[in-house]
Amino acid sequence: PALPHFSDFTEMMRALGYPRLISMENFHTPNFMLVSEVLLWLVKRYEPQSDIPGDVETEQDRVFFIKAVAQFMATKAHIRLNTKRLYQADGSAVKELLKVTSVLYGAMNTQGGERAHPPEEDSTKFKFDLGSKIADLKAARQLASEITSKGAVLYDLLGKEVELREARTESIARPLEINEAEKVMKIAINSVLEEVQKTKDMLNNVALDEANLEAKIEKRKLELERSQKRLQTLQSVRPAFMDEYEKIEEQLQKQYSTYLEKFRNLTYMEQLLDDHRRAEQEMFEEAANMLRLIQSRLKEEEQHLLKSGGNDDSDIEIQEDEGSDSEGNLQITRQRISTEALLPG
C-alpha cells in the first residue's frame, strides 16, 4: 500500500540523526523490529534517562513495549499514539511515528536559527547539541523543583529557630554531669545490644524458615514425581470397558443413520398424503360446483317448459310426451352425475 507522508518521515529521521537509512520497502510488510528500534531511539532522543525495556522477542514483550512507549509519550510529551497501528508495524505505523518525529523536528527547526538551507555538517553538529540541551533542560527543571521544595522546608525550619535558640543556649549553659552522661550512654548501649540481638534472632529464624521451605520443596518434588508416574501408568493402561464402548458407539452410528432414513421417508410420505388429500378436496369441490351448475340449468329448462303450457292439446300431448322423456332423461342425468361425483371418493 501507498505510505502517506513517507518522504517527510524519512527526511525528518535523517535530519534528527537516525543512524540507519529507512526506505519505502521496509514498511510494505509488517516489520516490528524496525518500528521498535525507531520508537526506542525516539524515546531515548526525547529523554535519555528513560528506562523502557527493549526486549521484543515474545508477543507479551511486544505488547508491554508498545504500551510503555504510548504511556511515556502521553505523560511526557502529551502525544497520543494509536497502539493498534504501532503493533501492526506496517504503513499505518508511519502515521503514528510522524507524530513524535514532527515534534522533535519542529523543536530542532525552532532552535536551529534563521538559516533557510544550512550545510549538512552544521546540521549534524546541531543535532547532537540539541540532545544535550534537552537533557540539560530536564535536569534544570528537576533542580528547580528540588530548590523550591528545599526552600519551603528551610523557611519552616527558620521559623522554628526562635524557640530552638533558647533551648540550645540553655542546653549549652547547663553544666555536664558525668553520672547522667554515663547513664544515658549505658541506656543507648543496651538499646543497641538489644537491636543486635533481635537482628541475630531474625537471622536465625530466617535460616530455620529457609530449612523448612527446602524440606517442603523436596516433599512437593517427591509428590510431583509420584503423581507423574501414576499419570503415565494410567495413560498406558487401557480401560476394560473401552472395547464394548467402541462397539456400542458403532452401533449407535448405524442406528442413527437408520433413524435419519426412516424419518426422511416418513416426512416424504406425510407430504404425499397431504398432497393427495388436497387433490381429492379440489375434485370434490369441482364436482359440487358442476352439479350446482347443472341443477340451475335444469330448473331454468323446467320453468321454460311451464311457461309454454298455453298451446293447443296436441301440442300439449306432444309436449307432455316430450316432457316425460325429458324428465326421464333429467333423472338419468342426475343419477349419472351423482355417481361420477361419488366414484373418486
Residue 55 domain flag: yes
In a shared domain, residues 14 and 97: yes
Helix then strand then coil, % of the chain, to nearest 5: 80, 0, 20
In terms of residue numbers, what domain contains 53?
5-111
Final residue in a domain of this structure, among 265, 290, 325: 265
Final residue in a domain of this structure, among 83, 111, 139: 111
Per-residue pLDDT tens for 16-54? 888 877 776 777 788 888 888 888 888 888 887 777 877
Residue 126 domain flag: no
In a shared domain, residues 19 and 95: yes
Residue 279 domain flag: no
Residue 161 domain flag: no
In a shared domain, residues 86 and 184: no
In a shared domain, residues 183 and 94: no
Looking at residue 331, its pLDDT comes to: 54
Q: What CATH number has the domain bearing residue 70?
A: 1.10.418
Residue 104 domain flag: yes
Looking at residue 269, its pLDDT comes to: 96
13 contacts: CB under 8 Å, gap ≥ 6: 22, 38, 101
Residue 122 domain flag: no
Tally of domains within the chain: 2
Final residue in a domain of this structure, among 230, 265, 300: 265
Per-residue pLDDT tens for 157-195? 888 888 888 888 887 777 767 888 888 899 999 999 999
CA dihedral (260, 262, 268, 270) in degrees, to 10, reads -120
Walk along the chain (345 residues) in steps of 10 and give the mean pLDDT of each run: 59 82 76 85 82 80 86 83 82 82 81 46 46 75 88 88 84 77 89 93 87 92 94 82 89 95 96 95 95 94 84 49 50 52 44
Q: CA distances (Å), 32 to each of 37, 52, 61, in order?
A: 8, 16, 12
Residue 220 domain flag: yes
Residue 321 domain flag: no
